[in-house]
Chains A and B, each alone.
Chain A
Amino acid sequence: MATTDQEMVRRFLRGEAEAVGTVDGWISRAAWPYQRRLAERWDDILQDVRLEVTRLLGEGKFRGESSLRTYLWRVVSHTCLDELRAQSKWKWADLESLDERESPTGPPRNIPTRQEDKDLLLRVLDQVPQDCRELWRMIAAGLSYREMSLRMNVAEGTLRVRVLRCREKAFTAREKLLGGDLASSRNIPAETSPKRSGRNANDL
């Protein structure tokens, strides 16, 4: 099977129509479930996948550890999932004028991307209560606080404080897991959230 796959790769890279057609068929089939969600840029994405496959095969990245078809499936899935995420990524409001003046002592904007850091952050997230995640998902979905309060049937003030507390919980969870290293390096003030007075804590 591996020999056949290697032969297929050679024929594909030589541009033989049959091999190109077969590989393209495998790519299209693997990519098919993502098509609706990526409809707007579908042709471009499919082309990106083909280019990526050609690049990887040309660089000899396929070593026959799995079948060629499975290898292509992995490439297609990676590319399409990445595209999906890029598409749904929350776009920050344009706050350029404020960003320029953002506190130099504030938390870093760059979140670690290394695998071990990812694992750590996932464990941090694991500590954040589910209702907090839901609240922030609504914000990321572009709901105003009025829409959210209507949807959740809570007072607007209560909702705003609840979101604020969730932000604090996320920080607390992070501090607990990361220890003092990050906090000290970032010089996070001990207390940054506002103290609310006159609001019933039970509302939260």
Chain B
Amino acid sequence: MDLSLLVIVVIVTALAFDFTNGFHDTANAMATSIATGALRPKVAVTIAGVLNLVGAFLSVEVAKTISSGLVDDTQVTPAVIFGGLVGAILWNMLTWLFGLPSSSSHALFGGLIGATWVAAGADAVKFGAVVTKILLPAVISPILAGLIALAATYLAYRITARGDQATVSQGFKYGQIVSASMVALAHGTNDAQKTMGIITLTLITAGALPSGSGPPFWVIMSAGLAIALGTYLGGWRIIQTLGKRVSEIQTPQGFAAEASSAAVILASSHGGFALSTTQVATGSIFGAGAGRRLASVQWGVAGQMALAWLLTLPAAAIVGALAAWASSSGTFGTVVVAIVAIALIAGIYAASRRQPVTADNVNDVPAPTPTPQPAAA
């Protein structure tokens, strides 16, 4: 296969992943705002889309490595990147179909690890970094975010218990708009950068850019637009899960959850810890649910999410490995992988149309039945 054609295929695939990353993660910022009515669904995803695009331009610290040191960079080829992206996209689509907020970042890392393993052997995978950069944050960050949101929610209800409830509810609604916007902005900055890094490294490995180059403007713009467009279209199935199926979220809880997510994401980024915005946002929502009334949280849903989180890395790795193995055989293999991936994505989309979730019915979920239990406030 002509290298330039492979590079083009990888760039298009990277932008496709960026798009899925956007609609998969819209819920991180906007699920609770939509659930509480602080923002109308279409308005919420529009704000999130715009702020993701803005966020993509806020940082130039891009393209350090496509895998944050998880694999031996010298072994990475366009075919490996292509395989990793295919694994990540398919896992994102599958979890979207089931409305599960799994980590797009972990799907990408898993895909790349699997593809690299097949292409260069197990020695090319830095398992120590996998533990410290993926597994440890995956365990700690949602628990930390959940505890913070729990404490914040408890305080919010305690402090405002003697206030005018109309004023309190309206005030937290306005607060939610700000806090949700912060999360959306942080998401655009973090996640759009990953795709920019992938495209930039692909261009470097293909000799189209000198080593150590930053992303060209068209890369920043295209990655920003892809994630913004995906965010705008809204992953309504996941928004419904996080906004309505975890707990019946009220405005103080929504504000506390989003403030906790924003604080953890920003503090971690500043401290140099890579984490999944999805897992942080999910942990926060569960914490906020527990902060008001412990029994109102649907822990069964939490179990499903935990299972998806556990499976994300290995599942994406297996698909990434298969895709990289097939692609490494040349043009025919790459074309076959692309056709199979497109067919699977079309099948997943067709399956989703049987029970469509849209902006019009995203909040049409019966409230979880709370068990009478002493409230925190």
- Asked if A pairs with B, the answer is no
